[in-house]
Amino acid sequence: MKILFKILDYLSAVFMGTGTFILVSLIVDKDWSMFTAMIAGMAIGMGVLVLSLLLFSSFSAAFEIFPVGMVITMPVGMAAGMLTAGDSPDFVFMVSVCAVFSVCAQLGFDLYNMKIKGEVPVDKER
């Protein structure tokens, strides 16, 4: 069961990363200014995050989707907006980059979680 949850975590991360890039490249036009495209990309990224929370909540904990999703969707949205407005990046290559970035982000969270999960000394004020 734990392995299944982990697979789902990585799938939802890839969904958020690639989904954000695909949506931004569909919506943002070449004629847009770099700044507008960046802001629009971020907003689209947030939209994808909310959609993912709704889609995956029934089999994945929202607590776990949310922080990873923030790290993935906002920078991917910003970068995708700027790239789309500035140039026409190779679509397949960029989707692959987003997928790899998403997997790396999820892995980073998993490793950090392994480090800090468990008992916390109660007298320790942080």
Partner 1 sequence: MIKNGNKNWWIKWDNAARTFDLMNRGIELRYGEKKREWFSRSYGRTLLVAVGTGLDLEYFRSGQQVVAIDISEKMLGKAQEKEASCKAAVELVRADVQMLGFSDSSFDSAVTSCTFCSVPDPVQGLKEIRRVMKPGGTLLMFEHVRSDIFWMGPMMDLMTGLSRKFGPDLNRRTRENIRKAGFRLTREVNVYLDMVKLFEAVKPV
Closest distance between partner 1 and the C-beta of residue 79, in Å? Answer: 18
Nearest C-alpha neighbor of 8 from the set 110, 81, 91 = 110
Non-local CB neighbours of 117 within 8 Å, separated by 6+ positions: none
- Is the Cβ of residue 22 or residue 60 nearer to partner 1 in the bound state? 60
Closest distance between partner 1 and the C-beta of residue 26, in Å? Answer: 25
Q: Identify residue 15 by its one-letter amino acid code.
A: F
Contacts with partner 1 by CB under 8 A lie at 5, 54, 56-64, 66-67, 70, 109, 112-113, 116-120, 122, 126
Total number of residues shown for the chain:
126
Closest distance between partner 1 and the C-beta of residue 107, in Å? Answer: 14
Nearest C-alpha neighbor of 60 from the set 108, 106, 111 = 106
- Is the Cβ of residue 92 or residue 120 nearer to partner 1 in the bound state? 120
